[in-house]
Amino acid sequence: MKDKLNLTKSFEMFEKAKQLVPGGVAGIRRPYNFVAGEYPIFFDKGKGGRIIDVDGNEYIDFLCAYGPIIMGYREEEIDNAVIEQIQNKGFCFSLTQETQNELIEKLIEIIPSCEMAAMVKTGSDATTIAIRVARGYTGKTKIARCGYHGWHDWCVEVKGGIPSKFYEDILEFHYNDLDELEDLLKKNENDMAAIIITPVGHPLAAEVQMPKPGYLEGVRALADKYGCVLIFDEIRSGFRCSIGGAQKYFGVTPDLSTFGKAMANGYAISALVGKREIMSIMADKVFLSSTYFPNSDSQIAALKTIEILQRDKVLDVIHEKGIKFGKEVEKVVADSTIPAQFSGSPWMPFITFDKDDTGLYKKLRNEFYTQLIRRGVFLQPYHHGYICYRHTDADLAFTVNAIKESFDEIKSLC
């Protein structure tokens, strides 16, 4: 049994933060989204594939800032390119710098659905403008939705403060179920503006799902049949499944796509990309503007990140590591005989516990992730992880062993 971590400073900072910030820290970073009392609440620094909290505890980090860290923390080549831009040219102006065109030309080159693009800052920005564009283009209202798409009124899970009229035209369907989607489209066929879906299924606190054979092709065909815009939310899968996203990897091209997270290795940027005919609606009929959307610091970071991903075949390396890691963890989980599942290989590794009527799965989950964090492996109980380029073979081997030891510790609960 590993000793509890010393998290004194983290807890002290959190108590102070609760007097300054509602909830102390933002949303998904609050302690109840981990194992309260066992996980740090404040980090101090990171380098490569590791992070150090404010109490000096070091972890192999598989959450990767919830996805943006594709290379590693403090990547000098990327940071230096941004510093050079800031020092020599600046990055925030009343008008646009040439980096906009350079970046969008690169996106057009590598993303199958990209004929034009609009640069924004967050995943929620990108998915929300995608919905606005789809409605503006089609003149229709209803949206078929599958997946997590952000915090804006139309899609946020927690409905506090949001009038129902803002989301009453959002209709949910389940991943990998074409019949359910077609039934929904049939019932609303005269007013369906779009289907928005994550091409890799990653529901909260549940197994990551890959598309069944023919599923994404089927979604594409249904969008065509019912005359609605197909949107792939690739905020997580983009620049991970392949340089052109899951759409490139699986060979299915949507009408619009959203990209973000790994595109700039941590710098705040995202994009709506898509077919020229649909995107052109933004030239005069659909409005998008922000003081900070055109900032070039994150555009430079994206250009440099994409350059490195292509030059060093980074995604091939991550894929290879993820496959090997996944096979080893699958064996550990199977050998443990504990009712648990490993999913998400090779891009989004996740260990979940089979739900039961007694609530045993909650005890198993909490104790497993407690044992894992005490061993210096940072994963989230309710959210899949990621593998970054700087995770070494030794890091991955250590993690497999830590997972095995953690399963061994919780067997007595079954």
- Taking only the tens place, the pLDDT of each residue in 94-107 is 999 999 999 999 99
Q: Indicate if 366 and 246 belong to the same structural domain.
A: no
Kindly report, residue by residue over 269-301, the tens digit of the pLDDT. 999 999 999 999 999 999 999 999 999 999 999
- Residue keyed to tokens 């894992």: 372
**pLDDT tens string 340-355:** 999 999 999 999 999 9
pLDDT tens, position by position, 245-256: 999 999 999 999
Alpha helices of 18-122 — where are they, by DSSP H? 76-88, 99-110
What are the residue ranges of helices labelled H in 226-356?
246-250, 276-279, 296-311, 314-336
In this predicted structure, the answer to whether residue 392 has a pLDDT above a threshold of 90 is yes
Percent of the chain with pLDDT over 90: 98
Residue 198 has, within 13 A of its CA and on its CB side, a CA count of 22
Q: What are the φ/ψ torsions at residue 343 (nearest 5 degrees)?
A: -140, 175
What number of CA atoms fall less than 13 Å from residue 17's CA on the CB side?
15
E-assigned strand segments in 65-216: 116-120, 142-146, 170-172, 192-197
**Which comes out higher in pLDDT, residue 412 or 297?**
297
CATH number, position 222: 3.40.640.10
For 362-373, how does the pLDDT look when each residue is reduced to its tens digit (9 = 90+)? 999 999 999 999
Q: How far is CA 133 from CA 120, 162, 194, 246, in A?
A: 14, 22, 10, 22
**331 and 206 in a common domain:** no
Is the same domain home to 67 and 87? no
- Judge if 280 and 140 occupy the same domain: yes
Q: Give the model's pLDDT for residue 204.
A: 86
Predicted local distance difference test score (pLDDT) of residue 51: 98
Summarised one tens digit per residue, pLDDT across range 302-341 is 999 999 999 999 999 999 999 999 999 999 999 999 999 9
**pLDDT (mean) for 37-56:** 98
**Do 325 and 205 fall within a single domain?**
no
Of the candidates 268, 294, 311, which is a domain's last residue? Answer: 311
**pTM, rounded to two decimals:** 0.97
Across residues 46-68, what is the average pLDDT?
Answer: 98
Tell me the three state secondary structure of residue 377. Answer: strand
Tokens 């299915």, located at residue:
252
The predicted model gives 136-155 an average pLDDT of 97
Q: How far apart are CA 250 and CA 52, in angstroms?
A: 37
Based on the fold, state whether residues 82 and 175 are members of the same structural domain.
yes
Q: Considering only the C-alpha atoms of the chain, give the largest distance between any 2 of them, rounded to a whole number of Å.
A: 64
Q: Both 284 and 391 in a single domain?
A: no
The alpha-helical segments, DSSP class H, found in 25-122 are: 76-88, 99-110
Residues 21 and 131 in one domain: no
CA dist 197 → 120, 228, 258, 283, 326 (Å): 19, 13, 10, 25, 25
What CATH number did the domain enclosing 408 receive? 3.90.1150.10
CB within 8 Å of 341: residues ≥ 6 apart: 207, 333, 351, 352, 353, 354
Q: Are 34 and 94 part of one and the same domain?
A: no
Rounded mean pLDDT of 172-186? 98
Give the whole-angstrom CA distance, residue 244 versus residue 166: 33
In a domain, 1, yes or no: no
Nearest to 264 by CA among 62, 48, 117, 82: 82
d(CA 374, CA 30): 19
Amino acid 35: pLDDT: 97
- Whether 191 is in a domain gets the answer yes
> Is residue 113 domain-resident?
yes
Contact 295, 95 (CB under 8 A): no
120: amino acid identity, one letter:
V
Say whether both 60 and 90 belong to one domain. Answer: no
| Residue where one domain finishes, among candidates 295, 311, 327 | 311
Q: How far apart are CA 60 and CA 63, in angstroms?
A: 9
Can you give the pLDDT at residue 414?
84
The answer to whether 372 touches 406, Cβ cutoff 8 Å, is: yes
Mean pLDDT of 134-153: 97
Do 119 and 249 share a domain, yes or no? Answer: yes
The verdict on 120 and 265 lying in the same domain is: yes
Q: Which of 294, 311, 328 delimits the end of a domain? A: 311
Q: Quick count: other Cβ atoms within 10 Å of Cβ 411?
A: 11
The domain of 97 spans 76-311
Residue 41 lies in a domain: yes
Model confidence at 383, pLDDT cuts 50, 70, 90, reads very high
57 located within any domain: yes
1 — pLDDT class (breaks 50, 70, 90): confident
* 2 assigned to some structural domain: no
Does some domain include residue 359? yes
What is the overall mean pLDDT for the chain? Answer: 97
Contact 174, 322 (CB under 8 A): no
- In the predicted model, what is the mean pLDDT of residues 61-77? 98
276: exposed, middle or buried (Cβ count in 10 Å: 0-12, 13-18, 19+): exposed
Residue 31 lies in a domain: yes
| Number of domains, the chain | 2
What per-residue confidence (pLDDT) applies to 239?
A: 97
In whole angstroms, what is the distance from residue 146 CA to residue 232 CA? 10
